[in-house]
Amino acid sequence: MKLLISRLISYTSALLVGAALSLAVSTTARADDAGLFLKALQEEAVSQLSNESISSEEREQQFRSLLNENFDISGIAKFVVGKYWRKAEDGPRSEFMTIFEDIMVQRFLPTFSKYASSDFKVTKVVKKKSFYVVYSKIKTEGGEPAQLLWRIQAKETSGFVITDIAAEGISLRSTYKSDYTSALKSLGGDLSALNGKLRKKIKSGDFAPKDNS
């Protein structure tokens, strides 16, 4: 399970950075252009990641911007806490939002440029009742294509927002939900206690990708 999630994160990292650099696409795309939107992210990433003059601080800020602009971070954060979100107070909720973003940055940022120029192809777009499922393939380190499924919703104004990614049948947000709701259950549903534990893990760099992942 952990290996599959690590692969999922690695394969999708390059696409994440492109989102922050393609705002013109994300703000003008029509609802039926979900596949084109996703492809545009990858193309923009390839053209922009060749700039090696960006400092680590600028790169992190850019990455945070792309996450918040193109991924439903707040919605995913609420989803992974599950029923415990409704029981928590505003303070712990707000803190968890910040912590969850820090976790995503620590986990994704170190590897996002690794697959920037990997071959990427959108193969199919399926319209559901309130969202789209975009099927794609990206070449892995071994040369074999990996299939990724993107759950994408149209924004109320214009453009899109990514709400989930899945690889080999494994959903990113569902996996996080399983982990965090299990932890919260053992903590008696105390979101503040979970926040404290996660802060310590972030400080120790526990969410950074491992060399053998």
Q: Locate tokens 């800020």: which residue?
A: 61
Strand ranges (DSSP E) for the chain? 120-127, 132-139, 145-154, 160-167, 170-171
In this predicted structure, the answer to whether residue 20 has a pLDDT above a threshold of 70 is no
Q: d(Cα 139, Cα 10) in Å, to the nearest integer? A: 11
Give percent of the chain with pLDDT exceeding 70. 74
**Phi, psi (degrees; rounded to nearest 5) at 91:** -60, -55
In this predicted structure, the answer to whether residue 14 has a pLDDT above a threshold of 50 is no
**Could you tell me the pLDDT band of residue 116, with boundaries at 50, 70 and 90?**
low
Concatenated DSSP letters of 45-74: HHHHTT-TT--HHHHHHHHHHHHHHHB-HH
Question: Which of the two residues, 164 and 140, has the higher pLDDT score?
Answer: 164
**Could you tell me the pLDDT band of residue 72, with boundaries at 50, 70 and 90?**
very high
DSSP SS3 for 121: strand
